[in-house]
Amino acid sequence: MEHAISVRGSGRVELAAYGLADAEHQVEKELRALWPQAAVDVTDVGRADASARIVEEFRVSYRVRGVVPTVADTEADARKAALRALRDRFAGSRFERITWEVVPAPAA
């Protein structure tokens, strides 16, 4: 049986960038490359240290939301499969430590 599991995740990464806007853009671009259908929101960008340099280290917090199609016998198995698929998709990237959660379906 096919299921569409709504999920959301959040996390924070540190990366080198030329400024706040560049750091935000890098995170949005990389997340969209890993999951093109997802909605990406950068929630906070801050310098990792106070020293001024051409390329600085930034901490970027973000949220990701989307729907993962799965095939499973039960809703519970579909949720597990969706979370497993997302962990696999982001494995090996700087975003592999995203904290994922299944969004409850609205009451009918």
Measure the CA–CA gap between 96 and 31, rounded to whole angstroms.
Answer: 11
90 located within any domain: yes
Binning pLDDT at 50, 70 and 90, where does residue 48 land?
Answer: confident
Q: Is 38 helix (H, G, I), strand (E, B) or coil?
A: coil
Lowest mean pLDDT among 6-10, 38-42, 45-49, 99-103: 45-49
107 located within any domain: no
108 located within any domain: no
In terms of Cα–Cα distance, which of 69, 7, 86, 11 is closest to 39?
Answer: 7
Q: How many domains does the chain have?
A: 1
Bridge partners of 16?
57
Q: Is 64 helix (H, G, I), strand (E, B) or coil?
A: strand
* pLDDT of 70 above 70: yes
With DSSP H G I counted as helix, E B as strand and the rest as coil, what are the percentages for the chain, rounded to 5? 30, 40, 30
CATH number, domain of 31, equals 3.30.70
Mean pLDDT of 53-76: 93
What range does the domain containing 19 cover? 2-102
